[in-house]
A and B are shown apart, each in its own frame.
Chain A
Amino acid sequence: METGESSTILELRNITKSFDGVSVLGGISLCIKKGEFVTLLGASGCGKTTTLRIIAGLETPDSGQVLLEGRDVVNDPPEKRDVNTVFQSYALFPHMNVWQNVAYALKIRGVNKREIEERVHGALAMVQMEDSGKKTPAQLSGGQRQRVAIARALINRPKVLLLDEPLGALDLQLRRQMQYELKKLQQQLGTTFIYVTHDQEEAINMSDRIVLLRGGAIEQQGAPNDIYDHPRTSYAAQFVGSANVLRGTAAEVRDGAVLLRSDCGTMYAGADALPVQPGDALTLAVRGENIGISRDAREVCLRGVVEANSFAGGMLRIPVRLCDGSEVVITRQGIHFDFAAGETVYLHWSADAAVLVDREARP
């Protein structure tokens, strides 16, 4: 079905951008559907914020097109585009109170007084800030500023809302709560959200689709569970799933599983659609929670030494040093772990827990 075509709200075609001769975006093409929650995920410097600013009109691309509902808006100034932005620093006007901040866009457009009153009230109610209209931004907490920034950006009922790491300045607990609220708001309004973050957890929790950027190009895009379970590259596996990446040589292929041999032992990976010949150099990704650990060797396993362990976010992280010096991180729920630092252990996992990555060279 071609339903995707008709409901595309925003399309980027071959966007390139460089600053002072350094290329930041090397030809990004992206289609975003109406009502979709898309996250541009990537490390700093990957071009995610630049992409967002190009969509907003705050930056002009060197080449390429930005199609908003099919019309190229690349030469339109920001005020002529039907998109609004929630800035990383919130960018609330310090000389205006909350009410005036939210009303700003309506006043600029010359909306009549009664409608302004109504819509500002509605927008503030939407973010549970209706009692703070008279406060100045300086009197608000980080989370409240965030809410006002969202209300201000949504008051114009934009076709697309752009959010540039909006939760970056908040503490962990508040961030989790705001993730939930943002997602709920997006579903209620049905507005298309394009969200920029470097935080994989945020991306996974909120998005319909994650677009992973790396070095100004799209590394992989897809639904969160798709990228999480089927990373195509070692970078995607590490960035989205915090997976361990290991190298080996194909020894045997049987029943949909590939047996790999490395200097520190043997390991399994699930076979994929591409053919594998014995002797091929392969890379696999396996997540820490799927790795089994024991004191006795198994038929297929890797040997290593427990380094230490650390507890963070309800998870125990146990780095194990392999004989070739590489590190595999095992994760466990809770705080109990039976192995001491310095102990020799054997690591193993089932074939369906590990995926082969980097099968095609990056373009």
Chain B
Amino acid sequence: MKKERWWLCAVPLYVFTLVFVLGPVLYMVAVSFAQNEAGTGFRWAFTLDNFAKMRDPVYIRCFRESFRLALATTALNVLIGYPFGYCMGRLSEKGKRIVMFLVMVPFWTSSLIRLYGWIILLQAKGTLNKLLLALGLIDEPLKILYSYPAVLIGMVYALLPFMILAVYTSVEKMDWTLVEAARDLGASRARAFLTVTLRLTLPGLMSGVILTFVPSMGLFFIADILGGNKIVLVGSLIQDQMTRGGNQPFAAALALMLAAMTTLMLWLYRRLTGTSELEGMF
């Protein structure tokens, strides 16, 4: 009989989740169908105007831009993060601990402060340009800051640890005898990697992709800080509508659309990669 009461322990957690997670989401959905009233907030009257408004090319461009940036960020993270996580997983125990420490160190500082660090590095008279000028590789400073590349660098930088750790976790679990078996059966080093290692670390890579792609759709402060105001992402747009724009229903509708698109992307991705197993998720 005692055993049956165990579920009671979970009740506070469910209540908390309902009130602070599901509640706000439902509220947001409701607000997205409400009517905006300039200056005074909104009125509870059902309308699809907020969604219709998104058909404006300005907003479509904004979604496209966000999407492009998220895809580029994720792709670069895969290209950098997979080899990094793979090599990390093959280090000695001591080596793993050291590299893990180095990967985690940035988390000890506020991400905002670290972004200002990037400004110092990338600005016209910044460290990078000084170095390149001194080496004679360029004749005049590169204008990286407040451009698309700067935003991309910032995004990749911010999300790379998640990719690395996701890949590392699955590489760590790899049974290397399987690679030996593949070699023994006639596979070259590259063939064994493609048919065995890559395939078996795919769940880690997939988690990494999701852990990078989802946040990069919403991370707007990086674009705000490193991109000046040239690049407007959906995230910035939502924030703008909430505050200065004073259009809460439209902000809610944008947020809902963003969530829907992200979910659709994830669903597509899982369908394409064929497997539903993900390292440390779901």
Contact = CB atoms under 8 A, between A and B. Distances in A.
Interface stretch (B8-16, B134-142, B174-182): B174-182
B181 A108 contact: no
A79 interface: yes
Nearest to B178: A91
A152 interface: yes
A221 B186 CA distance: 32
B183 to A, nearest CB: 4
Contacts of A152: 185
B185 A105 contact: yes
Contacts of B175: 89, 91
Nearest to A88: B177
Contacts, number: 59
Nearest to B185: A105
B200 interface: yes
Contacts of B199: 95
Interface in A69-96: 77-79, 84-85, 87, 89, 91-95
A77 B186 contact: no
A267 interface: no
User: Which label, helix, strand, loop or mixed, suits the secondary structure of the A interface?
Assistant: loop
A109 interface: yes
Contacts of B200: 94-95
B110 to A, nearest CB: 41
B186 A91 contact: no
Contact of B186 (A79, A92, A93, A95): A79
A309 to B, nearest CB: 42
B196 interface: yes
B182 A87 contact: no
B184 A56 contact: yes
Counting chain A CB atoms within 10 Å of each CB, the highest count among B181, B188, B191, B199 belongs to B181
A83 B1 CA distance: 61
B169 to A, nearest CB: 17
Contact of A78 (B177, B178, B180, B195): B180
A58 interface: yes
Contacts of A109: 186
B183 A78 contact: yes
A79 B188 contact: yes
A156 interface: yes
A104 interface: yes
Contact of B184 (A85, A89, A92, A95): A85
Interface string A95-122: 1000000001100110000000000000
A141 B149 CA distance: 55
A213 B181 CA distance: 25
B178 A93 contact: yes
B187 interface: yes
A114 B189 CA distance: 27
Contacts of B187: 79, 104, 108
A315 to B, nearest CB: 36
B184 A108 contact: no
Contact of B183 (A79, A89, A94, A153): A79
Given A94-B200, A95-B199, A87 B181 contact: yes
Nearest to B191: A108
Counting chain A CB atoms within 10 Å of each CB, the highest count among B180, B184, B186, B187 belongs to B184
A85 B181 contact: yes
B180 A91 contact: yes
A94 B201 CA distance: 12
B8 to A, nearest CB: 36
B186 A108 contact: yes
Contacts of B181: 85, 87, 91-93
A104 B184 contact: no
Given A79-B187, A85-B184, A153-B184, 8 more contacts: A78-B183, A79-B188, A84-B185, A91-B181, A93-B178, A104-B195, A108-B191, A108-B195
10 contacts: A56-B184, A57-B184, A79-B184, A79-B186, A79-B187, A85-B180, A93-B196, A94-B178, A152-B185, A156-B185
Q: Closest 10 interchain pairs by CB?
A: A91-B181, A105-B185, A78-B183, A91-B177, A108-B186, A79-B186, A85-B184, A78-B184, A108-B187, A105-B186
